[in-house]
Amino acid sequence: MSVTGLPFDDFRVLLRDLPGPDSQALVTARDRDRQLTKPPGSLGRLEEIAMWLAAWTGRAPAVNRPLVAIFAGNHGVARHGITPFPASVTQQMVENFAAGGAAINQICAANDLGLKIFDLALDYPTGDITIEPALSERDCAATMAFGMEAIAGGTDLLCLGEMGIGNTTIAAAINLALYGGTAEDWVGPGTGSQGEMLARKIAVVKQAVEFHREHLSDPLEVMRRLGGREIAAMAGAILAARVERIPVLIDGYVATAAAALLKAANPSALDHCLIGHVSAEPAHMRAIDKLGKTPLLALGMRLGEGTGAALAASIVKSAAACHSGMATFEQAGVTNAGTH
Ligand SMILES: Cc1cc2ncn([C@H]3O[C@H](COP(=O)(O)O)[C@@H](O)[C@H]3O)c2cc1C
Ligand SMILES: O=C(O)c1cccnc1
């Protein structure tokens, strides 16, 4: 853990001093883009994505080793009956990922993406956020540090996803703590909560934020009090990626809440991240708006597992391929505007 004092100290230092974009790589990429055999701007957002890759990797846009990292955790709050599925499904789905049977396995296979699963102490659910912090500072910091391992094997595009029964309740509590409003504004069905169960979910989120209200001005405190292990690990992974100049694709409502904690700590913390998709969870678009981002895809998905981020990776790969592989006007002998 920290050599400087409290476990969060190293992360506070890291968050204060994040590397910025590489302006030289950006200028070089813009210059090449102007020469490619297409009308200027005609590849729309693909062009912006290529420039984003250049700025945050510091080199010519390329995606050679895309990786989906899924973090799995269990939540004490699940005991309140706020989700239709039992907490045991988290472990069962981890086994399903390993066996290749989940949606994310198929999307990774179809799009040539690496996949790594990190299970986080599944036998030890976090504290029940309605009456206690989810994690101690030490445990939360250790889990953030573990999340940084996501990039250890090397990748040049990190897609972040999660698995954790009950974690849309956790995401709603984080958003309520960060942005205010009412619990109803941030709670949605998740895997299918409705009627009395949905009412309980709203009450639980309200109660949790009320219980911790004195301690919610510090985003890292919000993380440990209202978050969960997969939330802390995703935040750690985003930070590690920033330091190592790896662009990041964020998945749905839950992953976005983890990212939001970093943005609250440093407004530039997510500049190397794009939101892969807007999920069907009703509050996801509002949460994305709070980050000042525009999602790449809107497919009505509401699964998690990194599936939306993984699908968006194919767009990012295509953006890099166009930028690096297209011929210039000169190479192809195609007449450019203004030169005829
Ligand atoms: C079989 C199954 C596979 C999943 N894959 C992702 N999730 C998603 O659903 C969970 C969050 O929803 P809630 O807050 O309503 O529990 C997370 O585990 C999330 O990744 C799944 C959920 C289930 C049941
Ligand atoms: O948007 C998400 O990430 C999501 C939605 C429902 C269930 N699990 C995750």
> Do the domain assignments include residue 43?
no
Which pLDDT score, from 0 to 100, does residue 3 have? 54
Best substitution site from 80, 163, 254, 279 to test ligand 1's pocket, by max atoms within 8 Å of Cβ?
163
> Do the domain assignments include residue 10?
no
Which pLDDT score, from 0 to 100, does residue 7 have? 92
Q: Give the C-alpha separation, 169 to 148, whole Å.
A: 24
Q: What is the CATH number of the domain that holds 135?
A: 3.40.50.10210
The protein residue whose alpha carbon is closest to atom 21 in ligand 1 is 303
The protein residue whose alpha carbon is closest to atom 24 in ligand 1 is 85
Which pLDDT score, from 0 to 100, does residue 1 have? 47
As for the ipTM of the complex, it is: 0.99
> Do the domain assignments include residue 164?
yes
> Do the domain assignments include residue 113?
yes
Q: Give the C-alpha separation, 322 to 320, whole Å.
A: 6
Ligand 1 closest atom vs CA 162: 20
> Do the domain assignments include residue 32?
no
Best substitution site from 71, 79, 85 to test ligand 1's pocket, by max atoms within 8 Å of Cβ?
85
Total number of domains constituting the chain: 1
Ligand 1 closest atom vs CA 161: 20
What are the φ and ψ backbone dihedral angles of 276, each rounded to 5 degrees?
A: -65, -45
Helices (H), 102-194: 103-111, 137-147, 167-179, 183-186
Distance 21 CA to ligand 2 centre (A): 30
- Residue-wise pLDDT for 266-296, tens only, equals 999 999 999 999 999 999 999 999 999 999 9
Neighbouring C-alpha atoms within 13 Å toward the C-beta of 318 = 11
Closest CA to 164 of 107, 210, 105, 117: 117
Q: Which residues line ligand 1 (CB under 6 A)?
A: 83, 85, 89, 93, 162-169, 190-191, 193, 303-305
Residue range(s) defining the domain that contains residue 263 = 64-317
Cβ–Cβ < 8 Å for 174, 227: yes
> Do the domain assignments include residue 328?
no
- Residue-wise pLDDT for 238-272, tens only, equals 999 999 999 999 999 999 999 999 999 999 999 99
Place of tokens 């699964």: 303
> Do the domain assignments include residue 254?
yes
Which pLDDT score, from 0 to 100, does residue 4 have? 57
Structure-block tokens of residue 298: 């809107």
Residues of the chain falling short of pLDDT 50: 1-2
Q: What is the DSSP letter of 66?
A: E
> Do the domain assignments include residue 206?
yes
Structure-block tokens of residue 235: 């935040």
Tell me if residue 214 is catalytic. no
Helices (H), 212-275: 219-226, 229-243, 253-265
Cβ–Cβ < 8 Å for 170, 253: no
